[in-house]
């Protein structure tokens, strides 16, 4: 009888530096809007700005522990202006 190969889950990025080739707000403040098919009329828009902790969405937030009082995430640049020029490479050191 065939056996199913299911290795245990491993977070290869845990406790390691993750570098992104494309991050929102690194070069200059950049607006982004939440994409939702249910909110077409009233999209919620914010700014990424790496100069300020509160609006930074750096790659260091890929593996941090977020919670209700610590809402963090990594975000690439928006595709709104340069849809064909925004490739993303993530490198784990």
pLDDT of residue 83: 64
Cα 44 to chain centroid distance, Å, stands at: 17
Domain chopping of the chain, boundaries: 1-93
pLDDT at residue 86, rounded to an integer: 66
For residues 57 and 72, what is the distance between their CA atoms, to the nearest angstrom?
A: 7
pLDDT at 64: 81
What pLDDT does 6 receive?
85
pLDDT in the model for residue 37: 66
- For each successive 10 residues of the chain (93 residues), what is the average pLDDT? 84 89 92 73 83 93 80 85 75 91
CA 80/CA 30 separation, integer angstroms: 11
């Amino acid at each position: 009888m065939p056996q199913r190969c299911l290795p245990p889950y491993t977070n290869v990025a845990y406790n390691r530096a993750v570098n992104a080739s494309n991050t929102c707000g690194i070069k200059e403040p950049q607006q982004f809007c939440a994409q939702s098919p249910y909110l077409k009329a009233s999209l919620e828009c914010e700014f990424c700005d790496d100069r300020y902790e509160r609006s930074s969405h750096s790659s260091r937030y890929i593996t941090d522990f977020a919670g209700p009082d610590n809402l963090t995430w990594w975000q690439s640049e928006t595709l709104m202006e340069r849809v064909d020029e925004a490739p993303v490479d993530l490198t784990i050191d």
